[in-house]
Amino acid sequence: MKITGIRLGTLSVPLRVPFKTALRTVERVEDVIVAVLTDTGAVGYGEAPPTGVITGDTTGAIVGAIRDHIGKSIIGRDVDELEEVLQTIQRCIVKNTSAKAAVDMAVWDLYGQLYRIPVYKLMGGARKQIVTDITISVNDPEEMARDAVNALSRGYGCLKVKVGANPALDVARLTAIREVAGPEIKIRIDANQAWKPKEAVKLLNQMQEKGLDLEFVEQPVAAHDLEGLRYVTERSYVSVLADESVFSPEDAVRIMERRAADFINIKLMKCGGLYNALKIASAAEIYGVECMIGCMLEAKISVNAAVAIACAKNIITKVDLDGPVLCSEDPIQGGAVFREKDITVSDLPGLGIQGIDPAYIRWMS
Ligand SMILES: [Mg+2]
């Protein structure tokens, strides 16, 4: 199965409601789509969201990296040489992890199709179903409590709340949510690097003393500040999950070696795809550090690849893959089935994506 070409396009899917964090408000998912074509007629699909604020990857940069570097390096190669092709994707250009992730998942998709095996089975095949949390958009406390009630009525048992800009308001928001959620529901928070280490310890311990009972905090301090991250992990009553601090497998090892975090968040767009995500998962197994699988604001093609690794590996115990359920429509045929919190992996060969509704995609070539 030889790679004969790459098609690039942009996918646009409206969200159910605008997604608000302290930094931005987003109304649509607008992602780059890649279709890797082969001489057998098999097509492998990939997707990359331009999340400049986290990965530095913009739409133009993703398109340029794939068209001018990654594509040129793998066209003419045989999918059967999986290891070679995956390493070429990583080595032909530095950084550009979102572009690499999109092509990497498309190649895995093709390799699974070639040998007629679902990719999650190829990588381990631990289970067929996983359960995701859902993010509650940042609003005033009453509205967030209403959104939480709505999420609970839809069956969610784990809520994720973005915090950081205003500590007093954060406590009011979380208190309002904990009141309506009761003691059984899990609440995890994501500070997206908002705090200084000492401030983080003080705020987190105050939150626990108020009875908020937080499951963990994501990335309380700046991404580069591993000493600060360790400071919080050692002193806070709330467990710490490293997100923006972990892009590469090397980052993950550095953090686990220093015990700078309790958990690691794997995102395909940060690490450059399944090839490196598997390395992070393997390292985490050695250190005994449980992982979460997360996503950006993504539609179903790339989240589907994240579902495959989450279903493959037991070390991934936490799931934050609410991208597709935040979308108001699903223009992707095939792949994992998302029924609110319950996600079932596709048992079709490869990653199981069958096609994209042409009304939602603009192909560039
Ligand atoms: Mg995060």
pLDDT digits (tens, 9 = 90+) for 124-162: 999 999 999 999 988 999 999 999 999 999 999 999 999
Interatomic CA distance for residues 270 and 254, integer angstroms = 16
Residue 23 has pLDDT above 80, yes or no: no
Question: Under 8 Å CB-to-CB from 166, ≥6 apart: which residues?
Answer: none
pLDDT value for 25: 85
β 361-363/3-20 pair status: antiparallel
**Chain length of the chain:** 365
Residue with the larger pLDDT of the pair 133 and 365: 133
Interatomic CA distance for residues 35 and 362, integer angstroms = 12
The pLDDT tens digits of the residues spanning 292-343 come to: 999 999 999 999 999 999 999 999 999 999 989 899 999 999 999 999 999 9
Q: From the CA of 162, how far away is ligand 1's center (Å)?
A: 8
Helix, strand and coil in the chain, % to nearest 5: 40, 25, 35
Q: From the CA of 277, how far away is ligand 1's center (Å)?
A: 16
- Six-digit token string for 159: 């809520």
pLDDT value for 22: 65
Q: From the CA of 305, how far away is ligand 1's center (Å)?
A: 18
Q: From the CA of 19, how far away is ligand 1's center (Å)?
A: 14
- Stated pTM of the model: 0.97
The pLDDT tens digits of the residues spanning 107-123 come to: 999 999 999 999 999 99
Q: From the CA of 219, how far away is ligand 1's center (Å)?
A: 7
Q: From the CA of 193, how far away is ligand 1's center (Å)?
A: 9
Query: What DSSP string describes 51-120?
Result: -HHHH---HHHHHHHIIIIIHHHHTT-BTT-HHHHHHHHHHSSSS-HHHHHHHHHHHHHHHHHHTT-BHH
Interatomic CA distance for residues 170 and 24, integer angstroms = 17
Report, in angstroms and rounded to the nearest whole number, the Rg of the chain calculated over CA atoms: 20
Active site residues: 162, 267
Q: From the CA of 146, how far away is ligand 1's center (Å)?
A: 23
Interatomic CA distance for residues 143 and 176, integer angstroms = 9
Q: To the nearest whole number, what is the mean pLDDT of the chain?
A: 96
Interatomic CA distance for residues 232 and 239, integer angstroms = 9
- pLDDT category at 105 given cuts 50, 70, 90 is very high
Q: Which residues pair with 8 in a beta bridge?
A: 34
| Mean pLDDT calculated for residue range 264-270 | 98
pLDDT value for 112: 98
CA 307, distance to chain mean position in Å, is 9
The pLDDT tens digits of the residues spanning 226-253 come to: 999 999 999 999 999 999 999 999 999 9
Four-CA torsion 274, 280, 283, 289, nearest 10 degrees: -130
Q: E strands within 108-246?
A: 129-131, 134-136, 158-162, 186-190, 214-218, 240-242
Interatomic CA distance for residues 6 and 67, integer angstroms = 8
Of 18-27, 104-113, 183-192, 301-310, which gets the smallest average pLDDT?
A: 18-27
Three-state secondary-structure class, residue 271: helix
